[in-house]
């Protein structure tokens, strides 16, 4: 689903041919409306083996799960609030939106602009999405000369694999690394999308979808998040750090002893061993005795 020019649209793209199907939704956008439009596309082109969608309410519903069972296809949803896990359709939405914007700015028919998008070859070897999907060229107002007039499926597939592998390698160069899996019952921190802060949580289960986990927050909410949105918490290390460090003893503030008591205690202490510097000794507020150095006494 995507929003453009104050209207809601449904987009379905084929993974092999990259052919986009666009349907404008009139009226209220419900799960039943999405199912109805999806059935129209599947009835014209056939039922796919797998449908990958986001985890929105239109797809995460009882009606859509029943639709998947009745029509016999596997339905896989991406991680909530992590559109990168379904990057293929997100990129298709950007391309379609850019085409619609250019058509609107140049006062061109939108449907004709989408036809040009579908009939444009992907590169000098791979033909257009329309030719890959239908097995023939589609006529449009765009002058196109394609060298491989007879598509070779094996060569096209190898070209696709090499093209996508090169894109993946370029993407993985910039700080992409495989994160270690999480175990059930492990304490983690989950990222809050609104405040961008990390909150404590516990892993409850591992979802069948790749790199997706069910977690539970301290207030009892069950959430599904991608592995990239979770950080393990080293609770044992924090406990050792606090338990092994001895507590810091703060000095106790005691009232200043009275002069009579100081003299009395000083006299009792000097009754057995007199001290010549007793007159130069004074006590602090905490009761500690301080004796002046000799250089100050002589002066």
Claim to verify: residue 235 and residue 110 sit in the same structural domain: no
- Boundary of a domain, candidates 243, 271, 289: 243
- Boundary of a domain, candidates 138, 171, 204: 171
| Residue 228 falls inside a structural domain | yes
Claim to verify: residue 138 and residue 232 sit in the same structural domain: no
Claim to verify: residue 44 and residue 163 sit in the same structural domain: yes
Residue 74 CA to residue 49 CA, distance in Å, equals 6
- Boundary of a domain, candidates 171, 202, 234: 171
Residue 187 CA to residue 182 CA, distance in Å, equals 9
Claim to verify: residue 102 and residue 152 sit in the same structural domain: yes
Tokens of 6: 């104050």
Tokens of 178: 């495989």
CA distances from 173 to 160, 169, 177 (A): 20, 6, 9
| Residue 297 falls inside a structural domain | no
Claim to verify: residue 12 and residue 151 sit in the same structural domain: yes
pLDDT tens figures, 153-172: 778 778 888 888 888 888 77
| Residue 152 falls inside a structural domain | yes
| Residue 256 falls inside a structural domain | no
Residue 1 CA to residue 14 CA, distance in Å, equals 15
CATH number at residue 142: 3.30.420.10
| Residue 261 falls inside a structural domain | no
Scan for tokens 């990390």, then name that residue: 198
Claim to verify: residue 166 and residue 51 sit in the same structural domain: yes
Secondary structure E strands in 236-293: 281-283, 289-291
CATH number at residue 220: 2.30.30
Claim to verify: residue 159 and residue 215 sit in the same structural domain: no
Claim to verify: residue 97 and residue 225 sit in the same structural domain: no
pLDDT for 244 equals: 46
Claim to verify: residue 167 and residue 78 sit in the same structural domain: yes
145-164 residues labelled b (16+ CB within 10 A) or e (exposed): eeeeeeeeeeebeebbeeee
Claim to verify: residue 151 and residue 81 sit in the same structural domain: yes
Provide the 3-class DSSP secondary structure of residue 288: coil
Provide the 3-class DSSP secondary structure of residue 254: coil
Claim to verify: residue 166 and residue 193 sit in the same structural domain: no
| Residue 207 falls inside a structural domain | yes
| Residue 88 falls inside a structural domain | yes
pLDDT for 240 equals: 37
Q: Can you give the residue range of the structural domain that contains 13? A: 2-171
By the 10 Å C-beta count (0-12 exposed, 13-18 middle, 19+ buried), 114 is classed as middle
Question: What residues in the chain have per-residue pLDDT under 50?
Answer: 236-246, 248, 261-277
pLDDT for 268 equals: 47
Claim to verify: residue 34 and residue 162 sit in the same structural domain: yes
The total number of structural domains that make up the chain: 2
| Residue 274 falls inside a structural domain | no
With 0.75 as the threshold, say if the pTM is over it. Answer: no
């Amino acid at each position: 689903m995507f929003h453009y020019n104050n209207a809601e649209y449904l987009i379905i793209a084929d993974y092999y041919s990259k052919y986009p199907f666009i349907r404008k939704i009139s009226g209220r956008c419900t799960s039943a409306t999405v199912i109805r439009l999806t059935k129209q596309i599947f009835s014209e082109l056939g039922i796919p083996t797998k449908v990958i969608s986001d985890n929105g309410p239109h797809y995460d519903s009882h009606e859509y799960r029943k639709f998947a069972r009745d029509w016999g296809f596997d339905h896989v949803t991406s991680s909530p609030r992590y559109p990168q896990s379904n990057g293929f359709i997100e990129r298709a939405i950007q391309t379609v939106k850019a085409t619609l914007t250019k058509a609107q700015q140049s006062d061109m028919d939108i449907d004709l602009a989408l036809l040009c998008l579908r009939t444009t070859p992907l590169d000098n070897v791979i033909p257009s999405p329309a030719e890959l999907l239908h097995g023939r060229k589609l006529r449009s107002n765009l002058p196109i000369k394609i060298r491989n007039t007879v598509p070779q499926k094996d060569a096209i597939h190898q070209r696709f694999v090499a093209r996508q592998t090169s894109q993946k390698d370029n993407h993985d160069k910039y700080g992409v690394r495989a994160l270690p899996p999480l175990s059930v019952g492990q304490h983690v921190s989950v990222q809050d999308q609104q405040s961008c802060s990390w909150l404590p949580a516990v892993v409850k289960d591992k979802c069948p979808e790749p790199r997706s986990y069910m977690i539970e927050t301290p207030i009892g909410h069950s959430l599904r998040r991608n592995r990239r949105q979770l950080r393990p918490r080293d609770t044992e290390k924090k406990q050792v750090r606090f338990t092994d460090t001895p507590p810091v003893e703060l000095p106790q503030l005691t009232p200043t002893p009275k002069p009579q008591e100081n003299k009395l205690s000083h006299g009792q202490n000097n009754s057995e061993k007199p001290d010549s510097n007793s007159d130069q000794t004074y006590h602090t507020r905490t009761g500690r005795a301080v004796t002046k150095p000799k250089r100050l006494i002589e002066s």
